[in-house]
């Protein structure tokens, strides 16, 4: 059976589209936005190495950080075209607004070691794809926030997102929705914000961090990763679990030994490409089949 990655959700049979999203294997990407990072990108404050910015020339530091920071070569739009439906976002407030936030879209960037594109730029790209594909659904997981020091910054962040995506964001609810529920509501995004842990402290269009779980096998081997998932992950029917079946964690030794070829933090069995795979999750465990 041929599957069009651009519209694979739209083409699912009804017995799958009627299942809750956490019962469907959804392909995602790690540090999804890092394709836009270049060797000229300034260092971002999301790691201790950022402190070296005060004692090392910035161009030199950026060249060092670049192979650690970039994990994707496809733009978000191209990833969506290739079938990716989970995005991993890390948000950084470029300017510290300790007194009053100006609600300026240029304040919020995506970052992983180095600054990537403006958040608003990437949200516009996402919206363009969703408008052209009204039955495709996306999970956006904002799981790290940097330089956020006031509640007003959080409100400004939410305002920036809502200004662009409000009409396509599915509001928080206790039960995990099905694809058909989102189709009926004509909404296409589950937007998760880890800056708010409980739904009582968040705008109703944002899902709290308690809605999702991520697991890190701490291995570079696919067999060890699958064994970890089988042994440690309990099936959950109440949270929107992201099953990181394609994420492998680099050990320190592996990272250092592969630095020369720029492999640090290029996590995953597949580096910067989209591959075909089938994931079957059942009570007996996890089975991953890779297709040639």
Whichever domain contains 104, its CATH number is 3.20.20.190
Rounded Cα distance between 276 and 2, Å, is 11
Are the C-beta atoms of 26 and 85 separated by less than 8 Å?
yes
Contact 202, 173 (CB under 8 A): no
Express each pLDDT in 209-247 by its tens digit.
888 877 666 666 667 777 776 676 555 555 665 444 445
Q: Which of 75-89, 184-198, 217-231 has the highest mean pLDDT?
A: 75-89
Least confident of 35-49, 58-72, 102-116, 179-193: 58-72
- Contact residues for 188 (Cβ-Cβ < 8 A; gap 6+): 130, 134, 136, 137, 138, 168, 170, 182
- Any domain includes 199: yes
Q: Is residue 224 part of a domain?
A: no
What percentage of residues in the chain have a pLDDT greater than 70?
Answer: 63
Q: Which of 76-80, 172-176, 220-224 has the lowest mean pLDDT?
A: 220-224
22 within a domain of the structure (yes/no) = yes
Q: Report if residue 107 sits inside a domain.
A: yes
Is pLDDT above 90 for 160?
Answer: yes
Whole-number average pLDDT of the chain: 76
- 104-113, 135-144, 166-175, 215-224: range with lowest mean pLDDT: 215-224
- The pLDDT tens digits for 259-278 are 433 333 333 333 233 333 44
pLDDT of residue 56: 62
CA 211 to chain CA centroid, Å, is: 14
- DSSP for 229-255, written as a single string: HHHHPPP-SSS-----TT--PPPHHHH
Which pLDDT value is given to residue 3? 82
Q: What is the mean pLDDT of residues 97-118?
A: 76
Q: Confidence band (pLDDT; 50, 70, 90) for 286?
A: very low
Residue 209 lies inside a defined structural domain of this protein: yes
Predicted local confidence at residue 99, as pLDDT = 46
Per-residue pLDDT, 266: 32
- Domain with 183 in it: 5-216
pLDDT at 179 over 60: yes
pLDDT at 173: 93
Q: Which of 47, 5, 133, 146 is nearest to 89 (CA)?
A: 146
pLDDT of residue 57: 62
Looking up tokens 């799981």, which residue turns up? 143
Is residue 182 in a domain?
yes
pLDDT of residue 73: 93
pLDDT at residue number 273: 35
* pLDDT confidence band for 40 (50 / 70 / 90): confident
Tell me which of 206 and 44 has the higher pLDDT: 206
Give yes or no for residue 15 having a pLDDT over 80: yes
Q: Give the per-residue pLDDT at 25.
A: 81
Q: Is residue 247 part of a domain?
A: no
Residue 249 lies in a domain: no
The pLDDT, as a whole number, for residue 258 is 45
């Amino acid at each position: 059976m041929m599957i069009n990655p651009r519209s694979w959700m739209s083409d699912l049979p009804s017995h799958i589209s009627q299942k809750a999203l956490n019962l469907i294997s959804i392909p995602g990407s790690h540090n999804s936005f890092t394709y836009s990072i270049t060797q000229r990108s300034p260092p971002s404050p999301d790691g201790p190495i950022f402190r070296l910015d005060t004692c090392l020339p910035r161009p030199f530091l950026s060249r060092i950080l670049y192979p650690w920071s970039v994990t994707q070569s496809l733009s978000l739009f191209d990833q969506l075209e290739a079938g990716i439906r989970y995005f991993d976002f890390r948000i950084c407030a470029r300017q510290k607004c300790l007194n009053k936030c100006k609600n300026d879209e240029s304040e919020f960037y995506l970052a992983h070691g180095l600054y990537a594109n403006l958040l608003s730029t990437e949200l516009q790209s996402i919206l363009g794809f969703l408008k052209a594909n009204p039955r495709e659904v996306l999970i956006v997981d904002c799981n790290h926030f940097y330089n956020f020091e006031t509640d007003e910054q959080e409100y400004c962040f939410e305002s920036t997102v809502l200004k662009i995506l409000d009409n396509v964001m599915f509001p928080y609810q206790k039960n995990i929705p099905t694809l058909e529920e989102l189709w009926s509501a004509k909404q296409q995004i589950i937007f998760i914000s880890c800056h708010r842990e409980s739904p009582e402290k968040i705008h109703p269009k944002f899902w709290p961090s308690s809605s999702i779980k991520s697991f890190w096998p701490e291995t570079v081997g696919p067999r060890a990763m699958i064994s970890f998932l089988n042994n440690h992950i309990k099936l959950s029917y109440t949270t929107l679990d992201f099953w990181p079946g394609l994420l492998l964690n680099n050990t320190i030794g592996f990272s250092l030994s592969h630095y020369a070829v720029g492999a640090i933090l290029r996590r995953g069995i597949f580096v910067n490409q989209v591959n075909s795979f089938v994931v079957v999750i059942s009570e007996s465990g996890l089975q991953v089949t890779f297709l040639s």
